[in-house]
Amino acid sequence: MRIRYTAEAIHNLERLRAFAEKKNPHAARRIAAELLDGIENLAVFPDIGLPVRHAPNPKLIRDLFVGNYTIRYLRKKDSIIILRIWHGKESKIDS
């Protein structure tokens, strides 16, 4: 299964890494690696995330939790589209 990213998801990854890097560069690399490993697991196990209850189609829009981070994705027939990524301390948007 192919993994694709929205522009917003790429921006989220860059923003989260830059924020963590200011405080602890080693932790930023570790967090980025953990997030990418979690995303890669979706290619093999596309249903491991939890359905987003208020989504138009909860079976297709899911949240994967990696540590304190949430990865929201859309499960399509032949691909996974990473929609956005945020830290648990950030305000919840359209959940």
Sheet arrangement for strand 2-5: 2-5, 79-87, 69-75, 61-66, 50-51
Length of the chain: 95
| Residue 58, domain member (yes or no) | yes
In this prediction, residue 92 carries a pLDDT of 56
Distance CA 13, CA 85 (A): 7
In this prediction, residue 76 carries a pLDDT of 94
| Residue 95, domain member (yes or no) | no
| Residue 28, domain member (yes or no) | yes
Provide the residue-wise pLDDT of the chain in tens; the chain has 95 residues: 999 999 999 999 999 988 888 989 898 889 989 999 999 999 999 999 999 999 988 889 999 999 999 999 999 999 999 999 999 877 655 44
Q: Do the Cβ atoms of 43 and 28 come closer than 8 Å?
A: no
The residue segments making up the domain with residue 69 are: 2-87
Nearest to 11 by CA among 76, 86, 62, 81: 86
Q: Do the Cβ atoms of 80 and 42 come closer than 8 Å?
A: yes
Q: How many domains does the chain have?
A: 1
CATH number at residue 15: 3.30.2310.20
The one-letter amino acid code at 76 reads K
| Residue 37, domain member (yes or no) | yes
pLDDT digits (tens, 9 = 90+) for 28-52: 889 989 999 999 999 999 999 999 9
| Residue 78, domain member (yes or no) | yes
